[in-house]
Amino acid sequence: MSLSRRIRLCPSILNANRDDLSHEILRVAPESDLLHLDVMDNIFVPNLTFSLNESRSIIESSPIPVDAHLMIINPDDDAYQYAKAGAKSVTFHLEASENPLRTISAIKDHGARASIAVKPATPFERLEPYLEHLDMVLVMTVEPGFGGQSFMSEMMPKVSEARTRIDAMGKDIWLQVDGGISVETIMVAAKAGADAFVAGSAVYKAQSPADMLRELKKLAVSASGLE
Ligand code: DX5
Ligand code: ZN
Q: Which of 41, 40, 88, 80 is nearest to 60 (CA)?
A: 88
CATH number at residue 85: 3.20.20.70
Whole-number pLDDT of residue 41 = 98
Whole-number pLDDT of residue 71 = 99
In a domain, 136, yes or no: yes
Q: In what order do the strands lie in the sheet with 8-11?
A: 8-11, 196-199, 174-178, 136-140, 113-118, 89-93, 66-71, 35-40
Whole-number pLDDT of residue 1 = 45
Is residue 41 annotated as part of the catalytic site, yes or no? no
Q: How many domains does the chain have?
A: 1
Whole-number pLDDT of residue 224 = 97
Q: Give the C-alpha separation, 73 to 78, whole Å.
A: 9
Indicate the average pLDDT of the chain. Answer: 97
Whole-number pLDDT of residue 4 = 73
Q: How many residues does the chain have?
A: 227
In a domain, 212, yes or no: yes
In a domain, 113, yes or no: yes
Instruction: Let me know: does 204 contact 186? Beta carbons within 8 Å.
Output: no
Whole-number pLDDT of residue 104 = 99
In a domain, 26, yes or no: yes
Active-site hit among 38, 67, 78, 135: 38
Range of the domain at 17: 8-224
Which residue minimizes the CA distance to atom 10 of ligand 1?
Answer: 147
Whole-number Å distance, alpha carbon 12 to ligand 2 midpoint, is 7
Ligand 1 contact via 11 beta carbon (within 6 Å): no
In a domain, 52, yes or no: yes
Whole-number pLDDT of residue 67 = 98
Burial of residue 3 (number of CB atoms within 10 Å: 0-12, 13-18, 19+): exposed
How do residues 58-103 score in pLDDT, each as one tens digit? Answer: 999 999 999 999 999 999 999 999 999 999 999 999 999 999 999 9
In a domain, 2, yes or no: no
Is residue 38 annotated as part of the catalytic site, yes or no? yes
In a domain, 1, yes or no: no
Residue ranges in the chain modelled with pLDDT below 70: 1-3
**What are φ and ψ of residue 167, in 5° steps?**
-65, -35
Report the predicted TM-score, pTM, of the whole model to 2 decimal places.
Answer: 0.98
In a domain, 3, yes or no: no
Q: What percent of the chain has pLDDT over 70?
A: 99
